[in-house]
Structure formats: C-alpha cells, structure tokens
Amino acid sequence: MFEALTGKLTGVFDKLRTRGTLNETDVMEALREVRLALLDADVALPVVRDFIARVRERAIGQEVIGSVSPGQQVVKIVNDVLVDALGGEGAVALNLNAASPVPILMVGLQGSGKTTTSGKLALRLAKRDRKKILLASLDTQRPAAQLQLQTLAQQAGVGSLPIIAGQTPLEIAARAMDTGRREVYDIVILDTAGRLSIDEALMAEVKAIREATSPAETLLVVDAMTGQDAVNTAKAFNEALGVTGIVLTRMDGDARGGAALSMRAVTGAPIKFSGSGEKLDALEEFHPERVAGRILGQGDVVGLVERAAEIVDEEEAEKLARKMAKGTFDLEDFAAQLKQLNKMGSIQSIIGMLPGAAKIQQALDASGKSGLDQKMLKRQQAIISSMTPRERKNPDMIKASRKKRIAAGSGVTVQDVNKLLKQFDDMSTMMKRMSKLGQKGLMRQGLGALMPQGRRPF
C-alpha cells in the first residue's frame, strides 16, 4: 500500500547517496521533499511536522555532515524516526494476562472489516496459540451480521455463540461471558455493531458493553484505505473508550499509507495487526521496523521468509529439491509451486516485501507486466489442470492439436498455453543449469549464469 510514498522517498534518497559530501542546505532540501511526500501520502499534518523536526535535529549534526557516507546516514536517521513513529522495535503482543475466559472487544465503524477481522483473529489464536475460542456477535443492527460471524466461526473451526433473537447487545455479551465460563473457553471475542459514522448511540452502547465485560483488549478495526477518515475515527474511539490496540485492514489496497503512519501518534495505541484480503489466514502481526523497511524500499525479507515457512510443506519442498537436483522437474511440480505461491498472497504484496520493490515495480511497468496478479496464477493452474497426467509428465509431447484441446478446456487461447510452456521450459533450463553448476559454481558465476541466453534479471 506504500508504493507511491516508497517511490518518492527512494528518489530523494538516491539523490543523497550520489553526493560525496552534504551541507545543511542539501539536507534541508531533501527534508522538504520528504515532507511533501508524507503530506501527499495523507499523513496527518501534526505527525509530519513532528517527524521532520526530529529528523532535522539529528540530520544537520556534525556526525552526518562530516561522515564518510552522509547520504546513507540521513537514510538511517529517517528509518529510525519512522520506526519510532510506527511504534518502535518489535510487534506488540495481545494482552491475554487475565482470568479465563479473556474478553476481547472488537470495535469500529461499519464496513471497516470488523467481523471478518474477528474471524481472522479467532483462527490465529486457535491455530498458533492453541486457544479455545468463542466468537460472539453483538451486532443487532446489521441484517445477517450474526449469521456471518457464525459462518466465519465454522470456517475457522472455533466456537460460536448460539443466536437468540430479540436479545440486546448487553444481554448477548453477558450470555457470551457466561457460556465462556461454563464451557471453559480461553478467549471470548465480542464483535460489536458498527455504524456508518460515529454517533452518541454507538459510543454509549460500546461503553456499556466495555464496562460490563472488562475486556483485556479493546481492538479498534479501521480501514487503511480511508486515509484521514481512519485517523479521525481512531481518535474519536480512543477518546471515548481508551483503545488498547489497532488493527489496520485492507493493507494490500491501493492506499497512500498515511493512516498507518499517523495512528500511533494520534491515539498512543499500538498497531497490533494488519489485514490484507478476505482469506481468514490473512492477518499478520504489525512489525514497525519491517513496515519502515518496506516504506524506504528496503523490503521485508524476514516477513517474506516467515510467510513462506507457514505455507510451504517441508516434505514437499524436500521432494521437489531432489527432483530439481536430478533435473526431473515437470508440470505437476510447476502446478504445485503455483498453488503455494497463490497461498502466499497477491503478487503485488510479495513484490512489496522485496528489497528495491519500487524499482522492481517500475521495471514491471516498463515491460508491460504490471498486471501480474492472482488471476494469472489461476489461469496457469487451469491450463495445467486441463492437461492429461501423461502430458504433465512429458510436456514435449504437447503439440498443436493438444494445445487447442487444452486451451478450449481451460477457457484460454493457444497463445496462453504457449506462454506457460515457454515459462516452464525456461524454469526447467534454469534448474538443470543449477544442478550442473553446483553450489560453488553458482557462487562464482552468480544468478546471471542461470538465466536463458540473452536474458538477465532486472
């Protein structure tokens, strides 16, 4: 979601890095551009002022101006201040230090993704922390809201409070906590009703529920796509309830990123999670240092490795590695790789976690490949699914008539089938070269040795 901001900041810092020396005027000019980039990203004005003042104070000192690589020093200072603005080093864990069942109160406006986030959080706590979770919908305002949460509970494999028509939110909350105690649940997640805008009735209802249940966490769910509206919402809820944590949803959207940068400063509450996409497993801990790295174009390799570790089946990975070493990689293996890649999230989100993401994206745009997305992966999977087992094992046998049949069966063109086969052929060639070079040869010659003739990585 930080593509525009990352692109502008990368441009500013690239200029600084090319300078052998810097004076105070150079630094101030760079900070003016940083200020404009932050404002354009919809960061709250008071937050921008404080941010620039803190960077300026450190950047015009003698340790920067007189250093061997002043440009790099300025980038480091900006990174450090950015991490502080986002909440400091490391993710802030949920507070579960309370007698069971631990109540977690979910609040926010209608449409922020609160109910879906409740389901995501339930799955995360059940799967990762081995907790027994009860989901309870207190939303009597929105039609079918309780049924939606019940469905999400079934998908997550967690408990759901039975629906009793006619009860008030307070009565549902009391019944949820009583059920949690009687049926020995570890955590009860209370999904409150939202409104289209902040009003007295909404705040009075949520306050009453909070006082009745004494939640260990009051999590505010806000849509990152709404920019300054999200910041204003957070401020209002925090003043009324004393929010203990924030969950930013739609972090994979085409937003400018200002909400994420403003939240901590405006509310004082840490961003604990970020959500992207509708899938129930698309909820991640918020690591300020990693997000800062992504904003400054340094990527989030640690996060990418963690995401891959969760998705990749170790046994399958070892099996694939052995096949690669023997040079027997086939379309069945290729399909398995596409399936795992699809599970990792959108192509754009993966690119965003790579160092130099802005430049990679520019290269894709220039080559006309910026449209890489999940649809492409699904199309490729459909093509392979339309092949016979024999064709997947022996791609060389796929000639003109077979291509027509495969294209018709998967709803694509023959050209699409040709593209996939060419992509597979390039990958097979790379695997064979890797096997021949071995680890020492690869270290000597680099990645360029693996590329097909006439091609180089960007």
Question: pLDDT tens across 170-208, in order?
Answer: 999 999 999 999 999 999 999 999 887 788 888 899 999
Burial per residue of 258-284, b for 16 or more beta-carbon CB atoms within 10 angstroms, e otherwise: bbbbbbbbbbebbbbbbbbbeebebbb
User: Closest Cα partner for 393 from 443, 306, 330, 341?
Assistant: 330
* SS3 of residue 168 by DSSP: coil
Greater model confidence, 59 or 207 = 207
Least confident interval from 76-85, 239-248, 263-272, 317-326: 317-326
Say what the pLDDT of residue 264 is.
84
Residue 120 CB-half CA count within 13 A: 23
Band of residue 322 on the pLDDT scale cut at 50, 70, 90: low
**How high is the mean pLDDT of the chain?**
79
13, amino acid identity:
F
Greater model confidence, 279 or 22 = 279
Say what the pLDDT of residue 403 is.
92
pTM summary value: 0.68
Say what the pLDDT of residue 289 is.
83
Q: What is the pLDDT of residues 391-426, one digit of tens each?
A: 988 888 999 999 999 999 989 999 999 988 888 887
Residues 6+ apart with CB under 8 A from 114: 106, 107, 108, 191, 192, 194, 221
Mean pLDDT of 420-436: 72
* pLDDT of residue 363 exceeding 60: no
Q: Beta strand 187-191 with 133-137: parallel, antiparallel or unpaired?
A: parallel
* pLDDT of residue 346 exceeding 60: no
